[in-house]
Amino acid sequence: MGRVTPTVLVAGIDAAGRPAHPGLAEALAGAGLVVGAARHLAAVPVPPGCATVVLGPLAPALDRLAAAVAAGTPAVVLASGDPGFFGIVRRLRTAGLPVRVLPAVSSVAAAFARAGLPWDGAAVVTAHGRDPRPALNACRALPAVAVLTAPGAGAAELGAGLAGWDRRLVVAEHLGTPDERVTWTTPAEAAATTWSDPHVLLSLAPEIATPEDPAASILQLRPDPRPVRAFRPGTNCKIAGGLGGMRVDDQPAAAPDGGWALPESAYVHRGSMITKAEVRALAVARLRPRLGRLVWDVGAGSGSVGIECALLGAAVLAVERDPDAPIQVNAARHGVDVRVVTGAAPAALAGLPDPDAVFVGGGGMDVLAAVADRRPPRVVVTLAALDRVAPAVHLLRATGYAVDGCQLAAARLADLPGGSLRLAATNPVVLLTGELP
C-alpha cells in the first residue's frame, strides 16, 4: 500500500444558512491545527486545546499549514462559501499544499437566491485585493454582474462609479448569518450608505431587477416602481426571453454571436456619419476592448465603434454633440448598453471616468489634446483631412505616446450590369494609434 499524503481539509461555511458539512465536525474533532477568519472559527466547534491561526495575513498561515502537513498533523482551513470559487483553494494549491475540499453554497449563489433571480447568465467579478476598476467596468457593460467586494471597494464605491448608468443594486451583507441583510437600492443610494463587510453586490439592468416575490426572502426591499422596458430583440446577439434589450447569454465576455466590423447597414446613420466597416475593424482591434475596460467613443455619430467595443465586453461612454444622433437606437438594436453623454468635446469630457482607450472619430486638435491629457493607455484617431495628420501625430508624440498610422482605402466589390464586377472605392482615411509605453 502506498503512503497516504496528508491533506489539508478546506471546508466552506455556507452563505445560505445551511448547517456545516457533516464531515467537518469529524475533521475538527481530530484536527491539530485550524485556520480561518475569526467569524468562521467562532461558528464551528474547534476542540479545546487545538492550535488555531486567525486570518488576516495569509503567509504565516501557509507556513503553519506546510509545517502541519510535513509533520502529518491533521489540519483544517475554514473559508466562506465555495473555497474553490474566488477563494483560498487557489492560494493553497500555489503554495504546493495538498487539499481536500468540502464546498458550501457560495455567497454569489446565495445572493442571487435571496434576490429571487437566476444567475447562469451573470458575470462574477472580484474587487477583492486588486484594482476595482475592471469590476466596475463589468457592471457598466453587462446586465447582470456579481461583485465580490473588499473594504474600500464595496457597494458604496461601486455605486459611486455607476453614476450615469441605469442600474439596480442588491447589497447582500453577512449572508447565512443572523446579521444577514439584503437591500435593493440604487447606485446613488448605495454611494451614500455605509455597508458592513462582508457583502456581495449584484449590479442589474432595470429589466432584470424587478423582484417577483419580494416577501419570500428579502428583508429590506425598495423595488423600482418603473415599468419593465420593452423587449427589443437584437439582430446579432442572443437575448434571453423577457430580459430586456441588453445582450444576455452564457458567455457574457465572449466575442459577439454576429461578429463585428458589421456593414454600415447594421446601423441607423445619416449620410457619411459612420465609420466604415473596414476602418472600424482596425479601429476596434487597436482599442482592445474587453470585459473590465472602459472605452470612450468621442464624436460617436452613429455609435458604431463604441457599440462594437461593447459587443466585445467593454463598458462604453459615447460623447456626441448632436442630441438626435441615433446612438441609443443602435445600441438597443445590438443589445448593448452604451452611456451617451450629449455635449461638445472637449468640455463634455470633464468629469467622465478615466478610460482605458479612446476613439476620436470627430473633433479637432483641442479634443485630441484633452483626451491625451487624461492619459488613456491607447488612443485611436481617424482623420479624413490630411492637413490634420501631422499635427495629430506631433501632439500625441509630444504627450508621450508612441504613434503609428496608416492610410486605409477599401475598394468594395460591386455588381455591374451583365454579371460583371467592379471595384467601388471608399474614401481614404488615415488611422493613427497612440500607445503609452
Ligand X SMILES: C[S@@+](CC[C@H](N)C(=O)[O-])C[C@H]1O[C@@H](n2cnc3c(N)ncnc32)[C@H](O)[C@@H]1O
Q: Which residues contact ligand X by CB under 6 A?
A: 15, 80-83, 85-87, 106-107, 128, 148-150, 172, 174-176, 198-200
- For 371, list phi and psi in degrees, rounded to 5: -65, -50
CA nearest neighbour of 211 among 184, 176, 232: 184
**Least distance to ligand X, CB of residue 408, Å:** 46
**Least distance to ligand X, CB of residue 347, Å:** 38
Q: Cα(318)–Cα(309) distance, rounded to whole angstroms?
A: 11
**Residue 9 or 175 with smaller CB distance to ligand X:** 175
Structure-derived torsion over alpha carbons of residues 128, 129, 134, 138, reported in degrees to the nearest 10: -10
Distant-in-sequence, close-in-space partners of 307: CB < 8 Å, separation ≥ 6: 267, 316, 327, 330, 331, 334, 336, 338
The Cβ of residue 212 has, within 10 Å, a number of other Cβ atoms equal to 8
**Residue 199 or 339 with smaller CB distance to ligand X:** 199
Q: Which residue has the cell 482605402?
A: 409
**Residue 102 or 282 with smaller CB distance to ligand X:** 102
Give me the amino acid identity at 203: S
**Least distance to ligand X, CB of residue 291, Å:** 19
CA dist list (Å): 223 to 168, 183, 185, 228? 9, 10, 8, 12
CA nearest neighbour of 365 among 409, 319, 396, 408: 396
**Residue 128 or 288 with smaller CB distance to ligand X:** 128
**Least distance to ligand X, CB of residue 114, Å:** 10
**Residue 151 or 223 with smaller CB distance to ligand X:** 151
**Residue 175 or 392 with smaller CB distance to ligand X:** 175
Q: Is 280 in contact with 305 (CB distance < 8 Å)?
A: yes
**Least distance to ligand X, CB of residue 57, Å:** 14
Q: Cα(203)–Cα(119) distance, rounded to whole angstroms?
A: 12
Distant-in-sequence, close-in-space partners of 408: CB < 8 Å, separation ≥ 6: 278, 279, 282, 428, 429, 430, 431
**Least distance to ligand X, CB of residue 129, Å:** 8
**Least distance to ligand X, CB of residue 177, Å:** 6
**Residue 128 or 222 with smaller CB distance to ligand X:** 128
**Residue 292 or 306 with smaller CB distance to ligand X:** 292
∠ CA 207-209-215, nearest 5°, is 140
The Cβ of residue 392 has, within 10 Å, a number of other Cβ atoms equal to 24
Residue 254's Cβ-count burial label (10 Å; 0-12, 13-18, 19+) is exposed
**Least distance to ligand X, CB of residue 34, Å:** 18
Nearest residue to ligand X by CB is 81
- Residue 405 DSSP code: E
CA nearest neighbour of 89 among 5, 10, 21, 198: 10
**Residue 81 or 355 with smaller CB distance to ligand X:** 81
**Least distance to ligand X, CB of residue 9, Å:** 16
Coil/strand/helix, residue 392: helix
**Residue 114 or 334 with smaller CB distance to ligand X:** 114
**Least distance to ligand X, CB of residue 319, Å:** 33
